Amino acid sequence: MKSISRGSCVALLLDAALPEDRAEWISLWSKSKVRRPHDHPGFLEAMRLPGERPMAIACLLDGCLLCLYPFNLFHLAQLPFVQQLGSSPGVDIVSPYGYGGATYEGDGVDRQIAEESLEYVLKLFFTRMNVVSEFVREDIFSDHLTPRHDGERLVQQQNVVVDLQVTMEEHWLRYAPKVRKNVHRAEEAGLKVEIGNGESFLEPFLNIYYETMKRRHANDYFFLAREKLQLLHDSLQPVGGLQYALVFLQERVVAAELLLLSADTLYSFLGGTDADYFAQRPADLLKHKVIAWGHQQGYARFVLGGGLKQGDGLFQFKRAFEPGGLMDFCVRRIVWNNEKYDLLVTDREKWEVEQGRTWQPEPGFFPTYRAESAADEPGSPPPDACV
């Protein structure tokens, strides 16, 4: 593994493809007070796009973890339009799907020290790595993050977060009336929910998940291969990083969800419902029972996420469980090499013309040179959109 030192601070650059680095990464993740599941190398390996290389930077102060920043590295030479630009076009840095950013682990350490250490380390490592741009999907909980002030920070949309520290009686009153009605309907229909993380839960979950993906005509990225989901299970299950919630009607599983778990937070991740049983409202009962389970287990929050776009039907479904529980989900966009960034945009335009196409970059996409054309068909919903 590569390392740099600055006084009592040591920074490690870890590559998940190297066994020694991967073991060190998992060891540091296990010591994290956050233990965000999205930061585990197994999660990055399962969710990465073709050509992405899971890596992490860890900053240690006097031998103790100060911050952990996992990301995917992508060599731009893999892009077809870049092949004509020379041997060193650079790399992109992209945080893992979901929530990311450098964690803050330094109890008793001033956040300013953590911020300055991270800034120094990123500049040093990213310059050596020839980074052109960096895209970060930031954790919605600022207390989890080492502060950054570089680049451009944008509010992407609002996410729904359920407070698990109130009583279930209070939760019931907070639900929108339609949720209470739908939970009653599901219970009257005889639906039951089981929550666990054993291997026996995986197959029923997969059946519902793949049926839902087929129904929604999901693209390849969101139609996660079984081996990727098995990798996710094998990586996170032994360390308590996931649970499955299954809704049964007698012996039949009619809805399922894969939950990710940090030290204090539940995250809704992948799921689906058998379309033949929509009328029995299994999705409402599932969320209600997960909220009850999370409360009983002592978790602080349940992140339901957002919609495909702000205010859509999916967002409204989630918001009905905690109408006041809205938090901003933000992304950070940093250009590390403006000259190369602009050159890549120009050469993408030239290449598209050579292919006989008119390229109109999708507005707001970052980095621009990797954007689909705005005229293209929109992508499939994110994994947590399947209800």
Task: Tell me the pLDDT of the chain averaged across its residues.
Answer: 93
Tens digit of each residue's pLDDT (9 = 90 or more) over 206-227: 999 999 999 988 777 778 899 9
pLDDT of residue 380: 42
Domain-ending residue, one of 309, 328, 347: 328
For residue 218, the model assigns a pLDDT of 78
353 and 254 inside one domain: no
pLDDT at residue 195 tops 80 = yes
CATH number at residue 235: 3.40.630.30
- 280 and 372 assigned to the same domain: no
pLDDT digits (tens, 9 = 90+) for 291-323: 999 999 999 999 999 987 778 999 999 999 999
Number of domains in the chain: 2
110, 246: one domain: no
User: How confident is the model at residue 216, as a pLDDT?
Assistant: 84
CB 295 within 8 A of CB 171: yes
Residues 238 and 128 in one domain: no
Q: How far apart are CA 344 and CA 229, in angstroms?
A: 34
Same domain for 294 and 178?
yes
Percentage of residues in the chain having pLDDT higher than 90: 87
Q: Tell me, yes or no, whether 119 and 17 share the same domain.
A: yes
One domain for residues 164 and 182: yes
Q: How confident is the model at residue 135 (pLDDT cuts 50, 70, 90)?
A: very high
- Same domain assignment for residues 112 and 187: no
Q: Please, which pLDDT band fits residue 84 given cuts at 50, 70 and 90?
A: low
Domain holding 166, by residue range, is 159-328
Q: Could you tell me if 36 and 172 lie in one domain?
A: no
pLDDT, position 108? 84
pLDDT tier, 189 (very low <50, low <70, confident <90, very high otherwise) = very high
Q: How far apart are CA 59 and CA 45, in angstroms?
A: 22
Q: Model confidence at 107, in pLDDT bands (50, 70, 90)? A: confident
